[in-house]
């Protein structure tokens, strides 16, 4: 497998060294480093890397300026490496400008703690630069016919998810007759700012999950990073419960959201799996299918990383697939079908 070619951009010499070491130890080829935005753009032009890791807070031209300058380029892809307590608003702006993922620094200080993010950063870099063209499975899985109206839409996503959610929620109608709940894999400290950003661009109300929040038509609830979002009944209402247990590789977990939705509403649930690496959501998708609910996946042609949708399709659960710009039509069809 060809190693991804990465440029490390950070104004701290120690951070550049630490990130370079963890990436190379993980099998990633670091083709260069840059100390600020101007240096980064020069290195990108000369080295043509597949991906850059980008610090946001730099003197002179900062990380957001770099992303704006790269807006018309098909590559490199960008992973932001930031501190949530300092850069949360800027990091969400970076995602809106085209960054595909976030990795949170354990500390704002240039210390050995930077090595703690090595495994996560390497995994995301390797997933973000496919070694082969992304294609649909050779044998399409027949889609299950829509038998009844979905009363609850559950969405799971990871790498590339903020961009996908921005595009999807911007075209869903304000009068969508079912609530939407979302799990996105993102570091702690970013979901409140992301919910505000998504709310600004959507006809629907988008809010970060809070204990006991009501899920109602016209509202989108984004799971809070660091806590699972589970659904329950409170009288005649569907409400959200926040819980850090069980321990899973991702918290919040798509599986936990899908499992609770399937248990609550059975055949009246629509599970939607968007771009992302790994297999979170597969267990929950099996539960939705077993309960008679419907599944919809983003097709490989529009995914940043065709991982989470792929495992659902290959599990032969009767999932329908569509590119991102068609998914809202499919969601509306499921919600309005009788």
Give the C-alpha separation, 56 to 36, whole Å. 9
Give the C-alpha separation, 310 to 40, whole Å. 34
For the CA atoms of 299, 302, 305, 308, the dihedral, rounded to the nearest 10 degrees, stands at -30
CB 277 within 8 A of CB 159: yes
Mark 107-119 as b/e (b = at least 16 C-beta within 10 Å): eeebeeebeebbe
Q: Supply the DSSP string of 142-192, one letter for each residue.
A: PPPP--S--SEEEEEE-TTHHHHHHHHHHHS-TT-SS-EEEEE---TT-HH
Give the C-alpha separation, 221 to 200, whole Å. 14
Cβ burial of 50 (10 Å; 0-12, 13-18, 19+) is buried
Q: Which residues pair with 243 in a beta bridge?
A: 228
Give catalytic residues, as residue numbers: 158, 185, 280
- 322, 314, 307, 315: which is closest to 158 by C-alpha? 307
Give the C-alpha separation, 309 to 333, whole Å. 20
CB 273 within 8 A of CB 295: yes
Give the C-alpha separation, 53 to 69, whole Å. 15
- 88, 78, 90: which is closest to 54 by C-alpha? 78
Give the C-alpha separation, 275 to 288, whole Å. 19
Q: What is the CA radius of gyration of the chain?
A: 20
């Amino acid at each position: 497998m060809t190693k991804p070619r990465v440029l490390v951009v950070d104004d701290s010499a120690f951070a550049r060294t630490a990130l370079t070491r963890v990436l190379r130890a993980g099998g990633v080829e670091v083709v260069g480093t840059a100390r600020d935005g101007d240096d980064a753009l020069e290195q990108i032009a000369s080295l043509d890397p597949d991906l850059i890791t980008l610090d946001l807070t730099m003197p002179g031209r900062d990380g957001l300026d770099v992303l704006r300058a790269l807006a018309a380029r098909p590559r490199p892809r960008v992973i932001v490496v930031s501190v949530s307590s300092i850069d949360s608003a800027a990091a969400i702006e970076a995602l809106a400008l085209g960054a595909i993922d976030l990795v949170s620094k354990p500390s704002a200080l240039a210390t050995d703690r930077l090595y703690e993010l090595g495994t996560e950063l390497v995994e995301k870099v390797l997933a973000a630069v496919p070694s082969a063209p992304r294609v649909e499975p050779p044998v399409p899985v027949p889609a299950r016919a829509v038998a009844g109206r979905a009363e609850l839409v559950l969405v799971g996503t990871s790498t590339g998810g903020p961009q996908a959610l921005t595009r999807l929620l911007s075209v869903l109608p304000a009068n969508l007759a079912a609530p939407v709940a979302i799990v996105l894999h993102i570091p702690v400290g970013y979901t409140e700012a992301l919910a505000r950003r998504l709310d600004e661009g959507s006809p629907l109300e988008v809010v970060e999950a809070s204990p006991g929040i009501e899920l109602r038509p016209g509202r989108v609830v984004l799971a809070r990073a660091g806590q699972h979002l589970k659904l329950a009944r409170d009288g005649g209402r569907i409400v959200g419960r926040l819980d850090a247990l069980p321990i899973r590789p991702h918290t919040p977990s798509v599986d936990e959201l899908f499992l609770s939705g399937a248990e609550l509403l059975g055949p009246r649930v629509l599970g939607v799996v968007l771009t992302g690496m790994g297999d979170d959501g597969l267990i929950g998708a099996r539960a939705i299918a077993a309960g008679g609910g419907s599944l919809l996946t983003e097709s490989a042609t529009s995914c940043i990383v065709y991982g989470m949708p792929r495992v659902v399709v290959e599990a032969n659960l009767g999932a329908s697939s569509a590119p991102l710009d068609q998914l809202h039509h499919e969601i509306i069809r499921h919600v309005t079908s009788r």
